[in-house]
Structure formats: C-alpha cells, structure tokens
C-alpha cells in the first residue's frame, strides 16, 4: 500500500477548535479520539480545493482557506495493518458566520456517521485527549499561539 495524500482543516472559535469525534479502534487502543475535518486529495485536485470539497461533503459547510499550517506525516498501525498518510494542514474559517453558533455538526462520510464538536484548546494539553494524526496537536497549539500573539 502506498502513502495517501490528505488535507485537514483547523477552524477556530475563541479558545476552541472544531474536531471530529470518533469512537472506534485506533493505534492506541479502542475508544474516543479526535481528528480535524478533511480527507483524501483526489488525483489532479489541489489540496486547498480538496479541503473545501471535504467540508462541503462532510458537514455541508462552505469554508475559506486562511493559511497553510504545515505538513504532517503519519505512519500508524491498527489491526496489524500499516497506514501511511501525508497530510497538508490548513487554517480555515466558515464563510457563513452563523455556523460558529452551532454546538455540534453531523459528519457524513461513506459508511459512517460521526459528529464534530468544539474542543477547548486547553483540553489538547491533556495526555488523555487523543488527536490523530498525533503531530496535529502541536500544530494546533502553535497556530493558536501565533494567532494570540498576532503573528
């Protein structure tokens, strides 16, 4: 199996970020974990366009790309299967500001239904808060720190 190119977006509301909540088997066991919204980049598709498409497909929302946060490479194992993702991470915002008032979004993907919720950034400091890809936690914290510093 070859690496998969993905794109994920971080939307911030005050001291919270929007993350999809999942409850299933993962590389650290079974149970709750979070991940930013987004998905696979299709052949011939630019990563920013893929992110806009994924948000529209998953939660029916139109977004704008606010900036590039970096690349994360994730190599993981679940059920003796190795996964390898190369992820382009972006800061994004909702085009419709009324969406920031929503407490939860229903995430629709082929074969599964989950929710996305606003997770307090301080919760990301907790070791029991599992975020995938793992390096995403640090990227989110760096992004918030730079925003608060005005840089």
Evaluate whether residue 149 is within a structural domain.
no
Evaluate whether residue 63 is within a structural domain.
yes
Q: How far apart are CA 131 and CA 105, in angstroms?
A: 18
Query: 35-88: per-residue pLDDT in tens?
Result: 999 999 999 999 999 999 999 999 999 999 999 999 999 888 777 888 799 999
Evaluate whether residue 151 is within a structural domain.
no
User: Whole-prediction pTM value?
Assistant: 0.89
Evaluate whether residue 28 is within a structural domain.
yes
Query: 90-137: per-residue pLDDT in tens?
Result: 999 999 999 999 999 999 888 889 999 999 998 888 777 888 888 888
Q: Is the dihedral of CA 41, 44, 50, 53 positive or negative?
A: negative
CATH code for the domain of 106? 3.90.79.10
Total tally of structural domains belonging to the chain: 1
Evaluate whether residue 103 is within a structural domain.
yes
Phi, psi of 139 (to 5 degrees): -60, -40
Q: Cα angle vertex 59, ends 79, 24, to 5°?
A: 20
Q: How far apart are CA 116 and CA 94, in angstroms?
A: 14
Evaluate whether residue 120 is within a structural domain.
yes
Between 40 and 144, the more confident residue is 40
Partner residues linked to 12 by β-bridges: 17
Domain holding 99, by residue range, is 4-144
Evaluate whether residue 33 is within a structural domain.
yes
Contacts of 112 (CB under 8 A, 6+ apart): none
Evaluate whether residue 101 is within a structural domain.
yes
């Amino acid at each position: 199996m070859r690496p998969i190119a993905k794109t994920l977006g971080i939307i911030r509301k005050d001291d919270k970020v929007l993350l999809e909540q999942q409850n299933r088997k993962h590389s650290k066991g079974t149970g709750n974990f979070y991940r930013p919204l987004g998905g696979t980049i299709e052949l011939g598709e630019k990563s920013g366009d893929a992110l806009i498409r994924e948000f529209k497909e998953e939660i029916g929302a139109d977004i704008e790309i606010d900036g590039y946060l970096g690349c994360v490479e994730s190599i993981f194992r679940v059920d003796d299967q190795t996964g390898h993702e190369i992820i382009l991470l972006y800061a994004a915002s909702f085009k419709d500001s009324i969406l920031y008032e929503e407490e939860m979004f229903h995430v629709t993907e082929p074969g599964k239904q989950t929710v996305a919720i606003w997770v307090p950034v301080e919760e990301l400091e907790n070791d029991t808060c599992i975020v995938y890809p793992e390096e995403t936690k640090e990227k989110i914290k760096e992004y918030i720190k730079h925003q608060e510093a005005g840089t």
